[in-house]
Amino acid sequence: MLSYRLSKRAEKDLGNIAVYSIQNFGLRQARLYRDGLFKTFDMICEFPMIGSDQNHIKKNVRRQVYESHSIYYRIDANAIFILRILGPGEDPLRHLT
């Protein structure tokens, strides 16, 4: 199974998701949501092709959805590189190019 790495932007996305979740849903729910995202990262590592192809946005990028967020990633030789974690109102064309 591959491991995953987060881009700096994906790390920032996770932080923003945490802040929003805590403010709107409380700490317990924020932790549950974060854990779900991490489980989705692990699933992507186990089944790298599970996400849909996003070549129309950026070459060699795939997308997997968790709840209301889209995880954009690239399959590298030794790892999954998570580029961004975008919410429903965020335009992937703008955020990935």
CB 73 within 8 A of CB 50: no
The pTM of this model reads 0.95
The rounded mean pLDDT for the chain is 97
- Is residue 90 very low, low, confident or very high in pLDDT (cuts 50, 70, 90)? very high
pLDDT of 4-14, one tens digit each?
999 999 999 99
- Going 36 to 42 to 46 to 52, the CA torsion angle's sign is positive
Does residue 97 carry a pLDDT above 80?
A: no
pLDDT of 26-58, one tens digit each?
999 999 999 999 999 999 999 999 999 999 999
What is the pLDDT, as a whole number, of residue 59? 95
* Residue-range domains of the chain with CATH: 3-96 (3.30.2310.20)
